[in-house]
A and B are shown apart, each in its own frame.
Chain A
């Protein structure tokens, strides 16, 4: 059974940093891309970043480019999101998500999310 479990959320001051983790299980990690998607309180879904199975291909939303860094450690079955220079508008639930198959980005598996609050 595919499982994704996020951790690392919390309260951080504007300008601060936070590192999110996603523990993956139930599949061979290097065969699938992994993604971060966020949702601000009461708002819709926003794709944040994607990383291919080998880490060769990495993509970011413009809203986080230069501030966030996605990475993965397939030996540890883990995905990470290093978030620097955090802003109030980064406040959201952050979800880790995996596509259904080896290619494509139809996100068939999601974690339960971890809440990041950026506030002084």
Chain B
């Protein structure tokens, strides 16, 4: 099983600031990596797939990068609606696994 490790667990950022979230895979997942945003009481929302492709309707302040075992989600100029929990997930093989999440909170 591939273990996905996200860091930091919590990130405090000021509105308008930049957030950099990390996700590390215990073995290579190529570019088969997705990022999700989840707000309280809501289902997860796909932000990024293929490590760097934004899903339909996702603002361009969200960007993903990386391949293999190291991945980054960057949110430039954080808006109020961006404060949420973010998860990475690999889909390179079975079982699918998620990272433990990074909570982006208001500083």
Contacts and interface: CB of A to CB of B under 8 A. Distances in A.
A44 B38 CA distance: 10
A91 B42 CA distance: 17
A35 B36 CA distance: 16
A47 B46 contact: no
A63 B95 CA distance: 11
For chain B, give the interface size range: 20 to 34
A108 B55 contact: yes
Interface stretch (A20-28, A72-80, A81-89, A110-118): A110-118
A104 B97 CA distance: 14
B44 interface: yes
Q: Secondary structure at chain B's binding surface: helix, strand, loop or mixed?
A: loop
Contacts of B89: 45, 47, 106-107
Contacts of A102: none
A112 to B, nearest CB: 6
B71 interface: no
Interface in A33-73: 35, 37, 44-47, 50, 59, 61-62
Given A100-B55, A110-B43, A110-B44, A47 B95 contact: yes
Interface of A: 35, 37, 44-47, 50, 59, 61-62, 95, 100, 104-108, 110-113
Interface of B: 1, 32, 34, 36, 38, 42-46, 49-50, 55, 87, 89, 91, 94-101
